[in-house]
Amino acid sequence: MLDEMPIQEVMGRHRLVNDRLDASGGPRTLVERTRDRSYSPRTLDLFCGAGGLSCGLSAANFTVLEHLDNWKPAVDTLNANFDEQRQPTDIADLEASELRSMGWGELDVMAGGPPCQSFTSAGRRSENDHRGTLVGVYARLVAEVRPPVVVFENVEGFVTAGGGRYVFDLLDPLIEAGYRIVVRKVNLANYGVPQHRKRVIAIGSLIGEPLLPPPTHSAWGAPGAERVGGCPPTPTVEMALAGLPTPHSSSAPQGHVASDVGDTERSRISALKEGQTMRDLPEHLWHESYRRRANRRVMDGTPTQRRGGAPAGLRRLRRDEPSKAITSAAIREFVHPTSDRPLTLREAARLQTFDDSFRFCGTATEQATLVGNAIPPRFATALGATIRDHLVANADADPRRPGDGTLVEFNVTNADAMSPALASVVAQVRDRYVQESLFASPDR
């Protein structure tokens, strides 16, 4: 789906740029680097997973110096696609000096999305999950290394997890180090990604006002997505999956294999019309787990953060709309719009905008997790283009002066109202960092 450049060509150019920089004779200032017409911002990608962010940044003419992750299937995937021989790295044990040496004195951007499993609203949260502390680890490393620009990405549940604790773990060290920061929840469908994927993006800069790319597409089917006017429509599921051969065929790309399902599951799937979910099926076809949650009473003693509503269960996608968000469960729960089968891994990767040549490693479950957790390369390309323009436009600014750090924007909802949990975090952020005029009222 990275139509601009196949993954092999992106990575081939990436290695040529590195070879040239190896022979450049030492670190240069940002001004000196941006004077080069072939300027390729240099970045480290931490907690990088399958490398979707790196794919997109490379397509935007970035040089990704290092990919760091602690999960072996992710590292194997990076090695397979980026022609590397990395080993899993425990980022929590890294020192700033190690990251500086990876940047060769010319680091422009540090990017990362600390693991979000303990935050996501799709699963159970645990405030004691050690993975949550990696947000603070990441912010500390950035504050010590001080690249001109920092990028952070996470799921929308990140904002309210722990009552806002992780927001402060991220912002406190960065603001103290002098970063001006924009935090915004975006729907990646508004950037041409053929799915409604809501994510929290934070951009920090030491050299000027940070910017996120302006939306490029208008979408429908999720709150706020349709408010982007004057843009072409987001690609649909049908458009994203166009051209794929029949699953299991000899010409099928890696992962384009339909899962076998039993007779009962096949009956459920065949009964679903486009856009329908488990709740539209007769009760005798419901999954038992769906039945329990659908009938659960509010006062059943289940902790609030684990209750949720009745799950959608199986869902047949509509061919004429963007997909719902791809998760690690998509190849079990999402049904092809017109074929009576679940989505294949490759179809899920298409909806995440990965090129068909991109290979995923690990077991089937691990590959599904890699796909579901990835940053879509198409969005990363748009993000990279905006950051590169920012670096060039502000190259003569002095990034070494601390004390100018501030929260420029904290826009974390596209809805017309906030939940009590979100309103509480927004109020805390307002009181802690910025003037009230920068925020919408929590009770609007």
**Residues classed as catalytic:** 116
Which pair of structure tokens corresponds to residue 338?
């017109």
What distance in Å separates the CA atoms of residue 80 and residue 361, rounded to the nearest whole number? 8
Q: Which three-class secondary structure state does DSSP give residue 221?
A: coil
What distance in Å separates the CA atoms of residue 116 and residue 131, rounded to the nearest whole number? 8
End-to-end CA distance of the chain: 40
Which residue reads 């992780």 in tokens? 166
Cβ density class 206-236: b for 16+ within 10 Å, e for less: bbbebbbbebebbbebbebbeebeeeeebbb
What distance in Å separates the CA atoms of residue 120 and residue 374, rounded to the nearest whole number? 14
Nearest to 397 by CA among 156, 245, 265, 206: 206
- What are the residues whose beta carbons fall under 8 Å from the beta carbon of 285, sequence distance 6 or more? 264, 267, 268, 271
Q: Which three-class secondary structure state does DSSP give residue 421?
A: helix
Which pair of structure tokens corresponds to residue 69?
């992750």
HEC states along 223-237? CCHHHCCCCCECCCH
Q: Tell me if 140 sits within 8 A of 172, measured CB to CB.
A: no
Instruction: Round the CA-based radius of gyration of the chain to a whole number and report it.
Output: 22
What distance in Å separates the CA atoms of residue 433 and residue 421, rounded to the nearest whole number? 18
> How many CA within 13 A on the CB side of residue 41?
30
Which pair of structure tokens corresponds to residue 1?
């789906």
